[in-house]
Amino acid sequence: MPRAQISKRRENAALFTAALLAAVGGLVYELVLGTAASYLVGDSVLSFSLATGITLFGMGLGSLLAPRLRWEPATAFAVNEILLGLLGGNCVLLLYVAYARPQSYWLVFGAVSLVIGVLIGLEIPLLLRTFDQLGRPSSVRLLSQVLALDYFGALVAALVFPLVLLPELGLVRGTYLVGAVNVVVALVVLAQVRARRRVLVAAALAAALLVGLFTGASQLERQVGSMAYQDPVIHYQQSAYQQIVLTRYHQDLRLYLNGQLQFSSLDEARYHETLAGAALSSVARPRDVLVLGGGDGLLARELLRWPEVETVTVVDIDPAVTQLARSSPPVRELNGGSLDDPRVQVRNEDAFTMTAQGAQAYDVVLIDLVDPSNERLAKLYSVEMYQQVDRLLRPGGVLVTQATSSFFSPNAFAVVASSVAAAMPDASVLPFTVNVPSFGEWGFVLATRDRGQVLSHSLPQGQRYQTLERLRLEMLDRPPVLPPAEPSTLLRPRVVQVYNEDMRQWRYY
């Protein structure tokens, strides 16, 4: 084969590889922007909609700007990739720094998304001009090949980001890796032409910087993630499902999942004793208990105080949470090693799927899930979910679910109560609240077909806060008055919209 033909094939392979890698990086940046914003503000629909919309608008601007660039095409493409790698690689850091001043957060988010979009939009036009520079004039066939690689790269990114980058490397480290790939793309293209020395030096420095940041990203990610928390962070982890953070200030140990407080060791007994006590004191023989959520082991600790309890099944989708509950000394001390008790079975499954497929019957089902702040969680607060739970209850069984804050999100509380009532129309549905200082007034909903059994049995020894008298006052003597609310279903997940509308007045949006 003639040397010129070999060289041409090598150039084509290099440029097509660059097109594929650039496409992967472009979509990953969109996903990173949406994910980082959803972690910070909690509204995934708004976050991903803005990330996608602003980035695509920027791509349009970039495509229009490409013909105005007068640089030699390969050099212009390489410089574009270097800039994209540096900005894209550091975009998470920029967003977390901006979140320290919430009033300007969305302005910074929009600016970063727009510039990244412009740089992505420049890629294909500049790459086509580079093909032309190397002796392959633009044609419909060439354009279709480059666009096909762009679409294929989008699929690769859509699979790699949630399945590999995010769970294995974390948000910050994974983004630095993608930024380094952009610089590698620049070097691949520069290797095909007689590149300017300054551009090669810039690419080498950018690559060294991003590799260094990638190497130290674990510590940097912890420091960046810690900026959102007032207390010292003692554990920071990005699992396949969520960001897990433990903070400690003196005796106050706190767990956060995706920025939402799950417990404070100073007052968590109020929450967990209420959830367990309200249910088990309303069942004659609470032998088998199902807990949906509760991976920190604190609710299981309370359930094990009841001598009648024979089995506790804890269903938490995230093995990282249950592993933390078992292995972290301060958390294990707080939960009393409950998840390793022989009566406790831990199942790392999706609660909705488990209840849909479950064959075992339970005397009590307790739902201790994170608040319905995004669409991924909406199904866990739907009528269909509570219908599935109802089918698992034995005659005389009781369901109790946490129902968000009755003060901060009263309308979401009402939606949860309405959804339970719609799912169990022949049951007595009792909404009630308890004051947990770190959360404020917190809402719960109890459902039973035997109202006469409610609070008819004594509480176990070892209660630090709750008593039957207090429960009776909270549940029966002064129940909360809830506003009318439509139930939330799989097709109309109203609970997410209502929850975020409730919370918007307490956040900077």
Residues within the annotated binding site for S-methyl-5'-thioadenosine?
242, 316, 350-351
DSSP code string of 76-98: HHHHHHHHHHHHHHTHHHHHHHH
Q: Which of 43, 363, 368, 371 is catalytic?
A: 368
352: nearest Cα among 328, 330, 381, 375: 381
Cα distances (Å, whole numbers) of residue 480 to 146, 414, 431: 61, 10, 7
Query: 429 forms bridges with which residues in the sheet?
Result: 447
414 Cβ partners below 8 Å, 6+ apart? Answer: 482, 483, 484, 485
Rounded CA-CA distance 431/414 in Å is: 9
Active site residue 340: no
Cα distances (Å, whole numbers) of residue 171 to 228, 229, 274, 507: 15, 17, 36, 23
221 Cβ partners below 8 Å, 6+ apart? Answer: 170, 171, 172, 173, 236, 238
List, as residue ranges, the binding site. 242, 272, 296, 316, 350-351
467: nearest Cα among 269, 301, 268: 269
Residue 395 carries which side chain, given as an amino acid letter?
Answer: P
Rounded CA-CA distance 206/184 in Å is: 10
List, as residue ranges, the binding site for spermidine. 272, 296
Rounded CA-CA distance 244/297 in Å is: 15
444 Cβ partners below 8 Å, 6+ apart? Answer: 274, 275, 278, 400, 401, 402, 403, 431, 432, 433, 434
Tokens of 7: 């060289």
57: nearest Cα among 67, 49, 45, 68: 49
Alpha helices, DSSP H, located in 42-72: 44-65
465 Cβ partners below 8 Å, 6+ apart? Answer: 269, 270, 273
- Cβ–Cβ under 8 Å, residues 58 and 117: yes
For β-strands 288-293 and 362-368, DSSP reports them as parallel
Residues known to be catalytic:
368
